[in-house]
Amino acid sequence: MADWTARLTAGLTRSVRASDQTLGHLEEEILYQTRRLERRLLEEAAQQKADQTPPRCPVCGHALTRCTHGHERTYQTRFGPVTIRRLRGWCRRCRAWRFPADHALGLSDTGSASPSVQEMAALTVSKMPVHEASAVIERLTGVKLPPATLDREARRQGQRAERKRTELDAQMCTAQGVAQVLPTLETPFTLIIELDAWNIRERDDWGRSAALRRRGREPERWHWVYGGTCFRLDQRVASDRGRPCILSRGTVMTRHGVAGLRDQLFAEAQRHGLAQAAKVLVVADGAAWIWNLTGDRFPQAHQRLDYYHASEHLWAVAHALHPEEERAARQWVEPLLRQLQRGRVPALLNDLRTLAKRLRKRKRQAVAAELAYLESHQNRMDYAAARRNGEPEGSGAMESTCRQYQCRFKRPGQFWSRVGDEALMCLDTFWRNDRWHLLFPHIRHQDPRRN
């Protein structure tokens, strides 16, 4: 102990005297010199906890037999490698060798990461490529985790997160689910649900492309990721810069198809007060799967087509009428956009019908196609009411969330496996939804920054 303090004091004195050294040097000095002490404190405390663990099977609780002591195992911890001697015993009921201390310390049978290191792997790899994560962790904490180890650990944590998600979602179908419902208001509130999808590239049929093409099959590597988000309207406020921001919301992102999204989003909406809401509003683009899902799981919901998508179809008409004449197209479309914004949809559609009749072949077809789209969504274009009620006119919140996921999962040269991408997206979603503590109970439940 005295030895350690002397070293630290000497180091600090050197830094204080050196004219070219800053507060940063002092910080590094303390970090470096206290590390060995921290590691020893951890090792001693962990050993005590291991020694106190009763010789019972952590799976079934049965007393262990044929117990032997002193089985060493080394773990990677926040302060460096720590070695613990544990008891091993035979569980006659499970017919397996058990190390009860591992369970008490939160260490898994596979992998050698402490809970803190498990969390580091999960957090960094769900946010950045694994090579970068490895370097960042080493720089910030001094913990050396080679990319392959880090990758394995993050995936393991991601798969654990998926199991946790399934468990939590299943609870929402039972009386237990009440505990997960966020406190709701006394006054009537509106629940907003937004949906969207994007593409991810996977490594299916890797190395078999040539063989597949010979058989006339093109390898399909792009797959849909489906997402949804829900929040109470009163949680949508203006930021300092006047842009809308949402204080509290639940997000779902999955590679498990529309069915996966449907079940996960339904559970998420329940948590955010689906049963208590006076009004439920779904806002999204025109994709058919969205409105089928809405009819299936949120039949009570009011539906709204994203304003930008509706306006794009009017722009398509404008460009069909005035090809390569941007100014004329704009002049034509502006009064129609105003009609759209003012909620005069029947009149707008009538105008387009009249217009289509007057046109010849190609232009007529182009207008008819856009008209059919708008007619199929005519009950979803109440933008005037949206503004009156202070509701979103578009699904921008979901689109920006999708973009954020894409920043991680759609980098150049990236290929995913279906197992890997779902696991890491699941981790990211726990973080966003402020449920990180459910995966890593050792952290005090605080408010992780949403990004």
Q: Considering the complex, what minimum distance in angstroms separates the CB of residue 109 from Zn ion?
A: 13
Q: Which amino acid is at 94?
A: C
At residue 49's C-alpha, the angle toward residues 48 and 55, to 5°, is 110
Q: How far is the CB of 63 from Zn ion (least distance, A)?
A: 10
By CB under 5 A, what part of segment 374-433 binds Zn ion? none
Q: Which stretch binds Zn ion (CB under 5 A): 94-102, 116-124, 184-192, 397-405?
A: 94-102
Could you say whether residue 18 binds Zn ion (CB under 5 A)? no
State yes or no: residue 191 binds Zn ion (CB under 5 A).
no
Helix (H) or strand (E) holding 401: helix 396-409
Exposed/middle/buried for residue 160 (C-beta within 10 Å: 0-12, 13-18, 19+): middle
* Binding segment toward Zn ion, per CB under 5 A, in 50-58, 178-186, 236-244, 366-374: 50-58
| Residue number with CB closer to Zn ion (91 or 145) | 91
Q: Which of 91, 120, 265, 333 binds Zn ion (CB under 5 A)?
A: 91
Whole-number minimum distance, CB 57 to Zn ion, in Å? 3
Nearest distance from residue 93's CB to Zn ion, in Å?
5
Per rule CB under 5 A, is residue 211 in the interface with Zn ion?
A: no
For residue 66, the minimal CB distance to Zn ion (Å) is 13
Hunting for tokens 């468990």 — which residue is that? 167
Residue 57 is a binding residue for Zn ion (CB under 5 A): yes
Contacts of 71 (CB under 8 A, 6+ apart): 85, 86, 87, 88, 99
- CA–CA gap between residue 107 and residue 114 (Å, rounded): 6
**Which of 93, 131, 208, 357 is the binder for Zn ion (CB under 5 A)?**
93
Does residue 77 contact residue 116 with C-beta atoms inside 8 Å?
A: yes
What is the DSSP code (8-state) at residue 55?
Answer: S
60 binds Zn ion (CB under 5 A): yes
Name which of 86 and 377 has its Cβ closer to Zn ion. 86
Least separation in angstroms between CB 114 and Zn ion? 24
Cβ partners under 8 Å of residue 78, min gap 6: 42, 114, 116, 117, 120, 141, 143
Q: Out of 8, 94, 128, 419, name the contact with Zn ion by CB under 5 A.
A: 94
Query: Candidates 61-69, 74-82, 171-179, 314-322 — which segment interacts with Zn ion by CB under 5 A?
Result: 61-69
CB of 95 vs Zn ion, minimal distance in Å: 8
Q: Does position 59 bind Zn ion by CB under 5 A?
A: yes
Q: Which residues of 223-252 are buried (b: 16+ CB within 10 A; e: fewer)?
A: eebbbbbbbbbeebeeeeeeeeebeebbbb
Backbone angles phi, psi at 340, to 5 degrees: -60, -45
DSSP 58-114: TTT-PBPEEEEEEEEEEEEETTEEEEEEEEEEEETTTTEEE-HHHHHHT--SS--B-
State in angstroms the smallest separation of the CB of 98 from Zn ion.
7
Residue among 102 and 393 whose Cβ is closer to Zn ion: 102
Is 64 or 145 the residue whose CB approaches Zn ion more closely? 64
Given the complex with Zn ion, which of 65 and 376 has the nearer CB atom?
65
H helix intervals, 218-256: none
CB-nearer residue toward Zn ion: 91 or 113:
91
The rounded distance, in Å, linking the Cα atoms of 17 and 7 is: 16
Q: Please, what is the minimum distance in Å from the beta carbon of residue 96 to Zn ion?
A: 7
Instruction: Using the minimum distance from each CB to Zn ion, give the nearer residue, 59 or 328.
Output: 59
168 binds Zn ion, rule: CB under 5 A:
no
Q: Which is nearer to Zn ion, 63 or 170 (CB)?
A: 63
Structural contact between residues 442 and 419, judged by C-beta atoms closer than 8 angstroms: no
DSSP bridge pairs for 113: 76
Shorter beta-carbon distance to Zn ion: residue 93 or 330:
93
| β-strands 279-284, 190-201 pairing | parallel
State the Cα angle at 83 between 117 and 111, rounded to 5°.
Answer: 45
CB of 170 to Zn ion, least distance (A): 25
Give me the least distance between CB of 254 and Zn ion, in Å please.
Answer: 34
Q: If binding is defined by CB under 5 A, does position 67 make contact with Zn ion? A: no
- Closest to Zn ion by CB, 100 vs 420, is 100
Q: CB-wise, 94 or 369, nearer to Zn ion?
A: 94
Residue 103 lies near Zn ion (rule: CB under 5 A): no
Scanning 146-208, the segments in alpha helix (DSSP H) are: 147-171
Contacts with Zn ion by CB under 5 A: the residue count is: 7
Contacts of 418 (CB under 8 A, 6+ apart): 202, 204, 223, 255
- Is the separation of the CB atoms in 98 and 90 below 8 Å? yes
In the complex with Zn ion, which residue's Cβ is closer, 107 or 145? 107
* Residues at the interface with Zn ion (CB under 5 A): 57, 59-60, 62, 91, 93-94
